[in-house]
Amino acid sequence: MKFFIDTANLEDIKEAQALGVLDGVTTNPSLMAKEGIVGKDNILKHYLDICNIVDGDVSAEVISTDFDGMIKEGLELAELHEQIVVKLPMIADGIKACKYFSDRGIRTNVTLVFSAGQALLAAKAGATYVSPFLGRLDDVSTDGMHLIAEIREIYDNYNFQTQILSASIRHTMHIVNCAKVGSDVMTGPLSAIKGLLKHPLTDIGLKQFIEDAKKMNL
Ligand code: E4P
């Protein structure tokens, strides 16, 4: 399973990259706004900065909600850097734009997916990635992981090449369960990725090894 980090914070991206397990980055307008990035030039520069830190795919979301606007924005984003993946909302014009881009070899990520039917449409339109929002479903007492498993089953039934990018990850068990049901990618915050490191028995065991190593007079 690929690990993407879900942030526009350059320090978090650098830290995840330094860990050696990072395969890409996802951003969205809320994450960009959180970093205080304003103005088109600054936004484009920020995407370039991210591409220069990581080796993998960087999802950059269009703001437009109409077909023409999405095409204009998406082409500009795709031309910015070869690592950019155009992120499109799961609406009719977003699906049309997804088909437009996939027909032209431009990679896409269809976002704001909350049902298996939406994921099926995204795959039919040739999306590179589909982003079901696991955490936001859990937030409203709906089993987000069940959706990931449903999409996996549907994509496998028809050998769709669209990759399941489980998004809105909140914690380590989301990551572990995504891996169990066969999600292709997960995107989560640095805290969830680093959370995978933790186990008290590791800390206790290491403390003991360090104490015993002192007896070896190295
Ligand atoms: C990623 O592509 C999504 O935009 C993101 O994971 C949403 O996460 P949130 O529900 O924590 O905002």
**Ligand 1 binding pocket mutation candidate from 5, 28, 169, 186 (most atoms within 8 A of CB):** 28
What's the confidence (pLDDT) of residue 217? Answer: 84
pLDDT in tens, 186-217: 999 999 999 999 999 999 999 999 999 999 98
pLDDT the model gives residue 65: 98
pLDDT for the residue 85? 98
Q: Ligand 1 atom 6: the closest Cα is on which residue?
A: 168
Q: pLDDT tens for residues 41-54?
A: 999 999 999 999 99
Structural domain tally of the chain?
1
Closest listed residue to residue 83, CA positions, set 161, 24, 128? 24
Secondary structure element (H or E) that encloses residue 1, with its range? none
Q: Which residues are identified as catalytic?
A: 87
* pLDDT mean over 106-121: 98
ipTM for the predicted complex comes to 0.97
Of residues 14, 4, 25, the one with CA closest to residue 193: 4
Give the closest residue (by CA) to ligand 1 atom 4: 28
pLDDT of residue 34: 97
Domain ranges, residue 143 = 2-214
Rounded-to-integer distance, Cα 8 and Cα 10, Å? 6
Q: Which atom of ligand 1 is nearest to the CA of 131?
A: 2
Give the separation between CA 97 and CA 90, rounded to whole angstroms.
10
Mean pLDDT along residues 19-38: 97
pLDDT at position 123 over 90:
yes
Domain containing residue 118: CATH number: 3.20.20.70
Which residue owns the Cα nearest ligand 1 atom 9? 168
